Amino acid sequence: ALAAAVVILGQTVCCVFAMTDLRNERRLRDTQIRSQINQKLVESGEKDRLMEILRMKLIECGWRDQLKAYCKDIVKQKGLDRVSVDDLVAEITPKGRALVPDEVKRDLLQRIKEFLASTQL
């Protein structure tokens, strides 16, 4: 019984290692693909164009003003002397991401998909 348990445990450990290897391979592949996409976006100038479109859409929807007000509130609460830029960025980043309207995200994703389809990456 003990030998059978060791064999089963050994197989389980092997399965866990195999799954970990697959996850690591997938992460590596995803990182490589993201890097290739980013390189194409930069080389073509599309990244700058998309960033400008995103900037304008975020201003139009009031996102920038909301985040600016949130930053002011944080500085008022904590005091100017006790807030570093790094602290402020760490605190506003999750809120900033959450405040981006879904429509803006969908539009940007669609533009990226169209770019990728046109470059056949």
Give residue 73's identity as a one-letter amino acid code.
Answer: D
Q: What is the mean pLDDT of residues 30-36?
A: 91
Q: Nearest-5° angle of CA 80, CA 91, CA 49? A: 105
pLDDT tens per residue, range 60-87:
999 999 999 999 999 999 998 898 999 8
pTM of the complete model: 0.71
- Report the pLDDT value the prediction gives residue 2, as an integer from 0 to 100: 43
Q: Average the pLDDT over each of 5-9, 74-78, 88-92, 104-108 and give the range with the smallest value.
A: 5-9
Name the token pair of 101. Answer: 């309207």
Crossing angle, helix 2-44 and helix 46-60, to 10 degrees? 90
